[in-house]
Amino acid sequence: MLRYIGMVVALANISIIVILLTIYWKNYRKWKSEYTLGLLIFGTFLLIQNILSMGFLAPPPPPDPSGLGHGNDYPLFMINISQLIALAALLKISWK
């Protein structure tokens, strides 16, 4: 279940990053600021990271004969949640 919630959170992160990249692109075209260019580059890499995160969450885990499961769902979920909080704050600041 945590895997699917993590996928939804990663998808929300991707949506916010696309909105932020759109805002930053408009600002860069208007002002040609190096700072805004840096935000575009950073946002692009963050977008790639979140798309890769979706790839790790999407496939079902292989069967585990020991029954212990795979412990990487929770850490990845917590990373996605922390990114969602940070991106939401950044979107609130950047939205005009």
Domain boundaries, the chain: 2-57+73-94
pLDDT digits (tens, 9 = 90+) for 20-54: 999 999 999 999 999 999 999 999 999 999 999 88
pLDDT digits (tens, 9 = 90+) for 1-16: 788 888 899 999 999 9
| pLDDT for 65 | 61
Give the CA distances from residue 73 to residues 6, 44, 50, 59, 79, in Å, rounded to whole numbers and listed in that order. Answer: 8, 24, 15, 12, 10
